[in-house]
Chains A and B, each alone.
Chain A
Amino acid sequence: MTISPPADQITIRRAINGDESALRAIWKAHAPRVDALVLRLVGDADQAADVAQEVWIQIFRALPTYRGDSQFSTWAHRIAVNRTLNALRSLRRTSKAEVEIEEDTLSVEHDGDRLLLAQTIDEAVQKLSPGARCVFVLHDVEGYTHEEIATQLGITSGGSKSQLFKARARLRRLLAHLADATSPAKENEDDVASQL
Chain B
Amino acid sequence: MSHLNSERLAALSDDTPTPAESAHITTCDACTAEIAAYRRLMRMAVAAQSDTAKPLSNFDALLPRLRAEGLTSAPARHRAIRVWTSRIAASLVLVSGGVVAGRMTATKELPLLPKGDAVAVVAGTPATTTVPTTFKSVDDAALVLSASQQSYQNAAAFIAAQDTASHFVGMNQNAYRTRLVVLDQMLAATRTGLYQAPQDPVLNQAFLATQGAREATIRQYSQVLPTKRLERQ
A residues engaging B (CB < 8 A)?
A: 13, 18-21, 23-24, 27-28, 31-40, 45, 48-49, 52-53, 55-57, 60-61, 63, 114-115, 117-118, 121-122, 125, 136, 140-141, 161-162, 164-166, 168-169, 171-172, 175, 178-181, 184-185, 188-189, 191-193, 196
Nearest CB on A from B45, distance (A): 6
15 contacts between A and B (CB under 8 A): A19-B72, A19-B79, A27-B59, A32-B54, A36-B49, A49-B56, A61-B71, A121-B45, A122-B48, A172-B34, A172-B37, A172-B41, A179-B37, A189-B36, A196-B25
Q: How distant is the Cα of A31 from the Cα of B226 in the complex, in angstroms?
A: 56
Interface presence of B39 (CB below 8 A): yes
Nearest CB on B from A49, distance (A): 4
The interface residues of chain A lying within 8 Å CB-to-CB of B114 are none
Q: How distant is the Cα of A122 from the Cα of B50 in the complex, in angstroms?
A: 11
Interface presence of B32 (CB below 8 A): yes
The 5 closest A-B CB pairs, nearest first, are A188-B36, A36-B52, A168-B10, A118-B51, A31-B55
B residues engaging A (CB < 8 A)?
A: 6-11, 13, 17, 22, 25-26, 29, 32-42, 44-59, 61-63, 65-66, 69-76, 79, 196
Q: How distant is the Cα of A114 from the Cα of B47 in the complex, in angstroms?
A: 9
B11 lies within 8 A of A161 (CB): yes
B52 lies within 8 A of A125 (CB): no
Most chain A CB inside 10 Å of its own CB: which residue of B9, B36, B37, B56: B56
B32 lies within 8 A of A121 (CB): no
A35 lies within 8 A of B55 (CB): yes
Q: How distant is the Cα of A40 from the Cα of B56 in the complex, in angstroms?
A: 12
In the complex, the chain B residue whose C-beta lies closest to that of A26 is: B59
Contacts known (A23-B66, A169-B7); A192 close to B32, Cβ less than 8 A: yes
B55 lies within 8 A of A181 (CB): no
Q: Is the interface of A mostly helix, strand, loop or mixed?
A: helix
A24 lies within 8 A of B59 (CB): yes
Q: Which one of A178, A189, A193 lies within 8 Å of B41 (CB-CB)?
A: A178
In the complex, the chain B residue whose C-beta lies closest to that of A167 is: B10
Q: How distant is the Cα of A179 from the Cα of B10 in the complex, in angstroms?
A: 12
